[in-house]
Structure 1
């Protein structure tokens, strides 16, 4: 318990240090230096596209001979000095320059970018997340197969799955309605400045957008290859394969017991690896926080203060509802659950990655007293179907964009939008910035300008922190509640150890 408490403390300190370090580099670093080099045999007129953090694009025409570079100008007017082949110009910009693209009229420029502080420090986060990702697929497969084999038959699997899906649907609807009610009452879209639109970011989002269809949904659920599902960490596909494998192994009977035992041993080895990987969590958290603050700065909140404040209010209301229901079902054990999942939630908050905490969350729920066979079945399902924080944000963001563009949305239309979001959000697990991809598609369906997503993109990373942490809370609660409904919730590992010591002393 002391080791876990120390880890939570270290993660919290890493968050604070990351904010301070990122702010100092953003405020006093003099801007980041990036150089672009054209091919040696190419000389001609180049147009440089200067992309700022708010999406503003400025084009400057130069005669390029060998290289182009820019640096932040330190004076009273936020500006960027662009130098190409000895010729300079100053481009005024109220926002941080994110990148410069060479757009040649004749020929193709070869671009080389110099890494920034944010790029380097983010490597710490990348290392940590990839270490966790390498564990997820084998952990899901081994624990789920063992869990299904222990459940015994399809009837039990169906009963547990039915209870989990009932919770997921109810929680999703409640989350969607909370977002809808808050956005109608507070009208956050009225406070969004149209000048802050990140148009370039929306174009990147469109690359990951897929129109919702029955075929796409089936392809997302049913694996074409077990190896492909493992390689891509496709959680839902792994669940489908593992359920079939576990049920088949259970049906064969005693003959498969050695295999099930071997998989159980493998799952314990993987959980031991989790303990090793979590030692890197504070470094990963520091890297993630420092990188985003160094890149975006804290000044972004000047433009989005009210929008962000109303979003946080929505998250707070959702937390009250979830924890309130948790107290009704788990009663006095709810505070213990919150304490158990404290470290995973902090990591999820800092890295904006639910995947990064899946192994640790599995371990903590089992220590809390949830049976491994319930955890290994319900938790992976929840990662695809139970994203409470994201669901609340989808209605909140979609309707806020409509308000910003003064698009009238009657209540009946909003309810239809909620039902559409219930469907479209179930096929995007694993898609980068999945919530925004769904919002982008939903806006197009309801005659809301899809480009409006650009309005909320600059603040989205900070919103993503809170909705990811809420997703972790929702899945931990769902797994614990289903365990309680199944009569499979034991005392925590620490409490069981105390009881055993008391029994030995009495004996």
Structure 2
């Protein structure tokens, strides 16, 4: 059934693109259906994250152990995302997707909305300070994931300290968590309609002809993402001693769903359940995946270091290695904590290219194809969450220790 649903999503993507091409005005008009679907998804993100985090932290039951898991999780995120940034930079310098591009053939998109959001890309000190919420209801309303996670960790510690007194409350949170997962399944019933409308609106607005002059950038981004999935993650799987084919079979359909919707949130509950069946304890998945949503977007990370040099190449700017290294450092900082910002990858890109002296107009050139590349990078984000959970569980020595090992076919059921 899940495999069939993945193909429904894929079919809706293709049909939506075709519909938007032949009926562009109608395609733009039905965007409201896609927007409604995205709103439904955003509506359930916070309930899923809050309940799963609190259940996971309470399930650990040991504050020292929780701190150890947190440190290992952050170390893993930083090492992997930094490695991916340099992979993207290397590919951009080898392929040179922006070299020889005729800028006259590209439309200039409006940067007004994106530019207004760059104020949310913060410096390191402000970012750390803003992780501490002054009003938990406010940060939940704003989908500020880092602040929400920080509060949940502290609240979870308080629950652990209460011991047996917290059990009735934790039981209620467990019920709320299960209800949140059911709500996700209910919302996902409308995914094919939402995906169809989003693709129709995208193609209806920008047109398929926009893709042609930017095929090299699209191809380079997909090449880089393939290197991450089939190269870097294959190497990681070898190091972790898990068969990469099992991982592919377990999550390929979730990657399709995530790609078609452009949202990792759509597959978080299913991803957690499958990883638990595969041998990752629930308290690991409940902590690592929510934390990884704002901190560990592997696909987005790679795209940024391809898009930055692309803009420089398109405008004939020769960036030195020192400038490129500075750009990477900016991406390391700015890519944290803006997951809730609309078009977050474009916001990060605009803020960074401006900071390193590249023309911001370059971002306007590629807004139209962002949706096409976003599909692939979201799929890679989903794949990255799998390895984050397995790596932390392995590091803790609990992989396949607290749950029974199952065959991949069962895990993907």
TM-score (normalizing by structure 2): 0.91
The secondary structure found in structure 1 opposite 2:192 is helix
Q: Is there any run of 5+ residues in structure 2 with no aligned partner, and where?
A: none
Out of 163, 169, 179, the position equivalent to 2:78 is 169
Match status 1:18 vs 2:16: yes
Match status 1:487 vs 2:412: no
Distance (whole Å) between structure 1 residues aligned to residue 291 and residue 383 of structure 2 = 14
Out of 5, 11, 18, the position equivalent to 2:3 is 5
Report the structure, 1 or 2, having the larger helix content. Answer: 2
| Residue of structure 1 in register with 2:58 after alignment | 149
Q: How many residues align?
A: 407
Distance (whole Å) between structure 2 residues aligned to residue 125 and residue 342 of structure 1 = 23
| Change in CA separation of 1:496 and 1:434 when aligned onto 2, cut-off 3 Å | closer
Deviation, 1:443, is 1.6
| Residue of structure 2 in register with 1:244 after alignment | 154
Deviation, 1:333, is 4.5
| Alignment check: 8 A CA contact 2:188 2:266 kept | no
| Alignment check: 8 A CA contact 1:11 1:281 kept | yes
Superposed counterparts of 1:354-433, under 5 Å: 354-433=264-343
| Change in CA separation of 1:19 and 1:328 when aligned onto 2, cut-off 3 Å | same
1:158-216 CA deviation, whole Å, 9 max, x = no partner? 21112211211111111111111111112211143222455442232111112532454
Deviation, 1:476, is 2.3
Superposed counterparts of 1:59-208, under 5 Å: 116-120=26-30, 122-208=31-117
| Residue of structure 2 in register with 1:275 after alignment | 185
Distance (whole Å) between structure 2 residues aligned to residue 458 and residue 238 of structure 1 = 32
Distance (whole Å) between structure 1 residues aligned to residue 352 and residue 161 of structure 2 = 44
Superposed counterparts of 1:222-371, under 5 Å: 222-371=132-281
| Change in CA separation of 1:221 and 1:343 when aligned onto 2, cut-off 3 Å | farther
The secondary structure found in structure 1 opposite 2:229 is helix
Of the structure 1 ranges 163-172 and 183-192, higher mean CA displacement relative to structure 2 is found in: 183-192
Distance (whole Å) between structure 2 residues aligned to residue 369 and residue 136 of structure 1 = 25
Q: After the TM superposition, which segments of 4 or more aligned residues of structure 1 sit over 6 Å from their partners?
A: none
| Alignment check: 8 A CA contact 1:239 1:381 kept | yes
Distance (whole Å) between structure 2 residues aligned to residue 189 and residue 273 of structure 1 = 44
Distance (whole Å) between structure 1 residues aligned to residue 184 and residue 29 of structure 2 = 26
Larger RCO, structures 1/2 (Cα 8 Å, 6+ apart)? 2
Deviation, 1:456, is 2.1
Deviation, 1:332, is 4.7
Distance (whole Å) between structure 2 residues aligned to residue 152 and residue 484 of structure 1 = 19
Deviation, 1:347, is 2.4
Indicate the RMSD between aligned Cα atoms, in angstroms: 2.4
Distance (whole Å) between structure 1 residues aligned to residue 42 and residue 304 of structure 2 = 26
Q: Is there any run of 5+ residues in structure 1 with no aligned partner, and where?
A: 27-31, 33-115, 499-507
Distance (whole Å) between structure 2 residues aligned to residue 361 and residue 203 of structure 1 = 36
Distance (whole Å) between structure 2 residues aligned to residue 458 and residue 144 of structure 1 = 36
The secondary structure found in structure 2 opposite 1:207 is helix
| Alignment check: 8 A CA contact 1:385 1:426 kept | yes
Distance (whole Å) between structure 2 residues aligned to residue 220 and residue 193 of structure 1 = 42
1:207-250 CA deviation, whole Å, 9 max, x = no partner? 11125324541354222211122222222222111111111110
| Alignment check: 8 A CA contact 1:197 1:457 kept | no
Deviation, 1:299, is 1.5
The secondary structure found in structure 2 opposite 1:201 is coil
Distance (whole Å) between structure 1 residues aligned to residue 109 and residue 190 of structure 2 = 34
